[in-house]
Structure 1
């Protein structure tokens, strides 16, 4: 009787957790589904009680892509995200390797200083950062968008932890063959880092593709707007045209959703990876 009662309780508990998970999943997915539904609705149906559009249309997407310079905004976002990702991975991998393998005065202090930036969010430093960028003459430039976004303490920390787990025997064998630190980094460490670098590349690209606050602050020139800033201004310009706003949001979100679905395994592996398998 006791075992039957315990089995019944476990079954009820499992069903309860499944129900909670389903509700949370629905709460997460529903805004995306609703965005997609409105993007296909003509203007008269946006606030209609029907969930699915009665007369679905692609006119909203055509309007966004042809009547406003949205392709330029997409190109700006892609250029900024790709440049930041490539440059950040190159310098972050060198920094992570130096902090993991090289011994120099102040190494631990430098690492702790970098790690402490986890506690500082962008809104806290945005004013002094803007003053610095302005003093360097980088306002309304691609450099002003890109350079301050390169440093990422999470990437350096993750790469350092990964490099600490690499077998030292590989480097010792290379040193015995006469290889220097740069040769070891370029020929041994980087090839072994491909899985973690691929995952970080996706995370960096997603983060910069969705960046809003810094691009809004540093670039008032419409030719330098990224998609997130463009959508906000698009919303204010077409306050009642939610079908256009949602079509623009769908165009921006869809590539990133596809990218995340394809590479979700690499992203989750990068978070839990602490060594070689």
Structure 2
């Protein structure tokens, strides 16, 4: 992936006081927490946040600062975030709307957010409470070494997926899911609102990739496959099979590997956000 020509975003910061020696789980521990969250019907981020808050070193406030300018990983993140800003800015403008970009916060070990405390075990996530994306870039190494994904375009897909959740906040889709949960509606399961929300974010990541490719012609051989391998690696069915040896569709929150690949592909093939309405889709 030839990302060097992308505009660097100024909306990337670094969380102060995070430290690298605090609460931390490996990929195996993440899988266990994910399964527990599926069984209990709780948000994996919420459970991981609670575990992070049990660490006495967790900060209760978080200051952000400029990340190191000479770090190549930071440069990559700023380039991808800049491209999400330009792509979604253009797409929103075409609809007569103004795009309000999120801020991406880099952290190491642990971080405090408006959604609660979280550790690097959480993986990349979006917090609607402060409209910020949080990323410990060590996740890229974990993804390459243990999850069967990795590579620049796969890493870009991960960032674009989280930005897709921000787009859902701007359009009101995220609030509709929250409202359904507050009414007591069951939102998990293989046909539930949580799965539809995650698959739409995958589709939005595909839309971003389509438009960005038209703008830069930066994809190389194997890039698409690396992103699809990553989507496959983080499907509910695969994670459950790896962690507990069985698959329980009633507890899905993100969609199967096949669904995640399919909806990313749908967005990438069309480049149209309107094709990503997973909430109205009869079949996922």
Fold similarity call, TM over 0.5 = no
Bigger relative contact order, structure 1 or 2 (CA pairs below 8 A, ≥6 apart) = 1
Greater helix share, 1 or 2? 1
TM-score normalised according to structure 1 size: 0.23
Q: Which has the larger radius of gyration?
A: 1
TM-score w.r.t. the length of structure 2 is 0.23
Greater share of residues in strand: 2
